[in-house]
Structure 1
Amino acid sequence: MTSRKKNIKRGLWITVAVLMLISLALGWKIYQKVFSPNVRTQAPGPLYLYIPTGSDISDVMKILDEQRLLRNEESFLFTAKQLKYETNIKPGRYLLKDGMNNKELISLLRSGRQSPLNLVFNNIRTKEQLAERVAIQIEAKASSIMNLMNDRDYINDLGFTPENILCLFIPDTYEMYWNTSADQFLKKMLVEYKKFWNTNRMIKAEQTGYKPIEISILASIVQQESNQSDEKPIIAGVYINRLQKDWKLEADPTLVYALGDFSIKRVLSVHKEIESPYNTYKYRGLPPGPICLPTKASIESVLNYTKHTYMYFCAREDFSGYHNFASNYIQHLVNARKFQRALNKRGIKS
């Protein structure tokens, strides 16, 4: 009897020991699934994971699989289920580190702690160019951005029209999140626009007699006339003199914009016949909108334009990028003929 009790007791201890070993083994397996390194970036620099808006767990797995970021997908799915990631998927741009474990990765994705990016745009001529340039940097599609920029009611609420909406955008570098929508992008630009047009600049604009939008439109013309920062205020002064005398601006860059052919190097008489509100050879005043995105420097050149008596200017015949200025038409014709001869000598016909 005593021997039988000892055998039963021994059997119980063996059973307990086996169960403990099984528990330890299972625990170790779970620990490995959750805490073992499972991310391989295979990249020399930073690697970002982009989770689109509206993604579900299958979408996330497809992205991870396509980029071959996981050593073991099964362990990721196991951890995702334990941490309830399937119901807490947040879109965004996430910085991954090589060797991250599943808990670290899922906690990052679940938290929504995404990395912002620097959105940059400059050298823009049209709304289409702007929409495309922005769309390759954030989640919003170019078509969505274009639709809003052409939505008159929406744009009017921002204080603009579809024709002058480009005045809203000040070329610069802006920090924002990748999953920014078209609406959020434009609202962000409105905030930045108001920051740019501070009290000091508003006072200067008032002193010129023009509103910020008008200043930007004129700045866009000045920018297309010259790349030389030191003479932009002089060119701005010419155009303001013309506006004040109710002359037509007769700005060649507006014809190029109206024609939509930005490769034109020489404006001809035939170009001046185009029917367009941007044809400043036909219509007085400023065109309905900017012909490019003027830089901050170009806007400043208008706000701080040079006061003088010049009414005309023409590119110098040395192709230095500078211009000859004149107060009367006779001197302007002399300057213009010099430049025309230089164009002919180089064989530039269009």
Structure 2
Amino acid sequence: MKARGIALWRVILLVLLLAAIAAGSWLWFDWARFARSPLTVAGTGQSIDVARGASFKDIVRDLRNRKASQASPLYWRLLVMQMHASGRLHAGEYALRPGMSPRDLIADMAAGKVMQRNFTIVDGWTVADLRRALAAVDTLTHDTADLDDAALMKRMGAEDEHPEGRFLPETYAYVKGDPDSAILKRAYVAMSRTLDEAWKNRAPDLPLATPYEALILASIVEKETGRADERPRIAGVFVRRLQQHILLQTDPTVIYGMGAAYVGNIHKSDLTADTPYNTYTRAGLPPTPIALPGRAAIEAALHPAAGSELYFVARGDGSHVFSSTLEEHNRAVACYQLKRCK
């Protein structure tokens, strides 16, 4: 009887042991499945923002609240321990990419691989356009919002410089919380380097005394055409007019000088109203750039196309008709502007 009882207990213990092994195996395989299975991410552009000082419990709660993962917090804790990442998770914004596993996310957090965002400065924007666009980005810290242009340039380390034209149109990466001044500083430095390098390699015998004059001309070229094939030709027209002391007579400079008074149309009275930027009334280049020129416009200004053309007129489809004589130009104006083609 006693032996039978001992045997029964042995069977019970064996059954319990096997059940424990089975349960442990199931938990192990379930945890391993969790660690490698994709998080529930609806599309691209999703992220999790880990605040400085946030606890691991806060991170897991956030993931559960956004339904990216419904796994037990214990599973997350075991994963962090298994990856030796305890106490090494960095604050910041992390991308939740489609197909990303919990292991991938913890690896990013342990490495501080924060989400990169992009801000693009568009060729031909004015500084006012740039500042408005930066102010609308809610993932940046706005530390230049209360600065006027003079104070802004002082922040850039360029006191007494006019800001127009001084920031290179490019796409700049940043992370959430970066100050907008950091993007502006990088764009300022990039423009300075780009302009200096282009000036060193400029074509000979240009009627431009300084890199700043090249920047002014490039801004006019930028505003006159968006066509890559036309930029050197447009630049060539302006260079020849400068060399021959002919008024530039370019509408974009007039529009810039009108400021807020420009509401989409330019009239004959605007062309005769004298301002420092009216190239119909004043000879030479305007006093400052009128926009932010891109690399291509800078290259065109410093490597203008050769030729005899002194005039151009818009066709209305984004392209221009170029002319070498006033007679040819007047015919082109009559055809494409007044719709009186012969």
Question: What is the CA distance between 1:313 and its match in structure 2?
Answer: 1.7
Question: What is the CA distance between 1:71 and its match in structure 2?
Answer: 1.6
Among 188, 192, 205, the alignment partner of 2:186 is 188
Alignment match, 1:49: 47
Whether the 8 Å CA contact 1:258–1:279 is kept in 2: the answer is yes
Whether the 8 Å CA contact 2:322–2:329 is kept in 1: the answer is yes
- Does residue 178 of structure 1 match 2:175? yes
What is the SS of the residue equivalent to 2:69? coil
Q: List alignment gaps of at least 5 residues for structure 2.
A: none
What is the SS of the residue equivalent to 1:64? helix
Distance of 2:183 and 2:121 partners within structure 1:
13
Distance 1:191 1:233, change over 3 A: same
Alignment match, 2:290: 291
How many positions carry a matched residue from both structures?
A: 329
Distance 1:317 1:42, change over 3 A: closer
What amino acid maps onto 1:107 in structure 2?
A
Distance of 2:107 and 2:218 partners within structure 1:
49
Distance 1:199 1:68, change over 3 A: same
What is the SS of the residue equivalent to 1:36? helix
Question: What is the CA distance between 1:169 and its match in structure 2?
Answer: 0.8
Question: What is the CA distance between 1:253 and its match in structure 2?
Answer: 0.9
1:83-232 matches, within 5 Å, as 88-94=89-95, 96=97, 98=99, 100=101, 102-114=102-114, 116=116, 120-131=120-131, 139-141=139-141, 143-144=142-143, 150=149, 151-157=152-158, 161-164=161-164, 166-171=165-170, 173=171, 176-179=173-176, 180-190=178-188, 192-193=190-191, 196-197=194-195, 199=197, 201-204=199-202, 208=206, 209-232=208-231
Distance 1:98 1:224, change over 3 A: closer
1:249-275 CA-to-partner distances (Å, cap 9, x unmatched) read 33201222334578736x322223567
Distance of 1:51 and 1:326 partners within structure 2:
61
Alignment match, 1:339: 333
What is the SS of the residue equivalent to 2:323? strand
What amino acid maps onto 1:178 in structure 2?
V
Alignment match, 1:323: 321
1:192-227 CA-to-partner distances (Å, cap 9, x unmatched) read 446644756523178533433332321221232234
Distance of 1:211 and 1:25 partners within structure 2:
79
What is the SS of the residue equivalent to 1:68? coil
Question: What is the CA distance between 1:315 and its match in structure 2?
Answer: 0.9
What amino acid maps onto 1:301 in structure 2?
A
What is the SS of the residue equivalent to 1:323? strand
Question: What is the CA distance between 1:302 and its match in structure 2?
Answer: 1.1
What is the SS of the residue equivalent to 1:163? coil
Alignment match, 1:264: 264
What is the SS of the residue equivalent to 2:279? coil
Distance 1:178 1:55, change over 3 A: farther
Distance 1:89 1:206, change over 3 A: farther
What is the SS of the residue equivalent to 1:204? coil
Distance 1:61 1:281, change over 3 A: farther
Q: List alignment gaps of at least 5 residues for structure 1.
A: none
1:310-338 CA-to-partner distances (Å, cap 9, x unmatched) read 5x4241668672234345xxx26x73475
Distance 1:258 1:197, change over 3 A: closer
What amino acid maps onto 1:255 in structure 2?
V
What is the SS of the residue equivalent to 1:49? strand
What is the SS of the residue equivalent to 1:168? coil
TM-score by structure 1 length?
0.67
Whether the 8 Å CA contact 1:79–1:103 is kept in 2: the answer is no
Distance of 2:148 and 2:88 partners within structure 1:
34
Distance of 1:63 and 1:206 partners within structure 2:
62
Distance of 1:48 and 1:242 partners within structure 2:
53
Distance of 2:147 and 2:31 partners within structure 1:
46
Percent identical: 22
Distance of 2:66 and 2:34 partners within structure 1:
20
Q: CA RMSD in A?
A: 4.9
Distance 1:244 1:186, change over 3 A: same
Distance of 1:32 and 1:40 partners within structure 2:
15
Distance 1:291 1:110, change over 3 A: same
Question: What is the CA distance between 1:300 and its match in structure 2?
Answer: 1.8
